[in-house]
Amino acid sequence: MGLLLAVIITTASVQDRDGARTVLDRLRFAMPSVVHIWADGGYAGTLTDWARDRLRLVIEIVRKPLGIKTFQVLPRRWVVERTFAWIVRCRRLNHDYERLPEHSDAMIKWAMIGLMTRRISPTPGRRPWQPSTTH
């Protein structure tokens, strides 16, 4: 669905695979029902073994099919990019305005809370189960 499950803010010098260990630890504690994760090729290698052995998580690496040179939407990977697009629609998250990592963390969570509440609240107007007023 592309909803936020866990987030950590790190410095730019932290390698994605190293940051992934921290976020997977946090995710496992917060949502123990998650057992399967899709990731791109940047997370291949020892992270998949570590997650399987330590956290009992299966990390499936989504790779581009061999021989494809042009852009192609890959299954499951587009969900992450779509979620990033949803998040940066919040003006404050469009650029890095925050001074502290804690503030960035809070603003990302606030953006996702707004997105989730808009999804669960009905849009204005007639509901499909209500009779139409025109005859």
pTM of the model: 0.69
Give dist(CA 119, CA 103) in Å, integer.
24
Using one digit for the tens of pLDDT, what is the confidence trace for 20-60? Answer: 999 999 999 989 999 999 888 888 888 999 999 999 999 98
Using one digit for the tens of pLDDT, what is the confidence trace for 66-86? Answer: 887 888 777 777 777 788 788
Q: What is the dihedral of CA 84, 86, 92, 98, to 10 degrees?
A: -30
- Angle, CA of 59, 23 and 5, to the nearest 5°: 85
Identify residue 102 by its one-letter amino acid code. Answer: E
Give dist(CA 118, CA 115) in Å, integer.
5
Residue 36 φ then ψ, to 5°: -135, 130
